[in-house]
Structure 1
């Protein structure tokens, strides 16, 4: 399992206090709660974007909290997706593989697999700047997975999509997580994300995890 301990962050008028928290090492752990509950703060601390000297994050014998952000080997999809607009979809995805020093042969094979699962074959050669919202989101997910991450972290990944695209995106994400077998933390306020994707739900309110439910 992945255990987070002593995740504490004081913003003055708001505090995040999580003494102990388990993130599944298989399937999807959802951090669920309303806007302003502390979800994004937790996400940023886990990534190392905000300091938390007290935190310990044990994953398969490694304390990820002691590592610099690139060394954590996390696959990340931000709400804003953050693709390189001048690069094609394919170039965006392969950029992550090169950054993590994945071999060219392995990169080609993984790209082919991910393109099939996420239905990206028709737009791989298009610049990211002209892709639709749903296409950009699939590229961002594929890019996060290409670097062979320890864990996949997703921050409100469907929020910019309309309802129909959200349904399709949830289904594709569920499929790719099951195929790739990457433990995933999904941060969301959308109950439908919970219903479709969660293996465990951690509910956060006012900076504290107030309930944890294992679903499968």
Structure 2
């Protein structure tokens, strides 16, 4: 059976959805998540609320879609790369990875406050944020597999804490409350996290 051809109506729907996402992202960056109304998004695109609800269930759904189609996949690729680097055991490569992570945060810094605000304002968004953390840690399959089964939860927690600390550091750094060069930050973060992510020796247990 041949694939259904894309119709003009399908293409118009796709373009409208894209325009809604782009307008919402711009407004979230400029005004913050809480201040933006659905009417603001539709006005920016020039469509009706009915059209908006053909594509999204609400404002939170728009932000989730922005993350799912943009920041989340690129973030997960970073941690897949970290999985490879930890297997190599190279601290130099780890420092390079931290530097690239800082660059990634810098590139995405404008939207991050909207994510933080949505997590506070929308209770259901906390589960979205939690699931994003879980999904990102889960891509590190090689790293997790090198931990004993009984300590696999601890291994996952170490990755989640790394993600959380990097996010918190970057927020403070972007605000100017931490003054340090990106290169120095990468070295110090590597001092903390390279040994913390080391896998236990075979048959090693808790002392």
Q: Which TM-score applies when normalising by structure 1?
A: 0.23
Q: Which structure: greater strand fraction?
A: 1
More helix by share: 2
Higher RCO, 1 vs 2 (CA within 8 Å, ≥6 residues apart)? 1
Q: Which has the larger radius of gyration?
A: 2
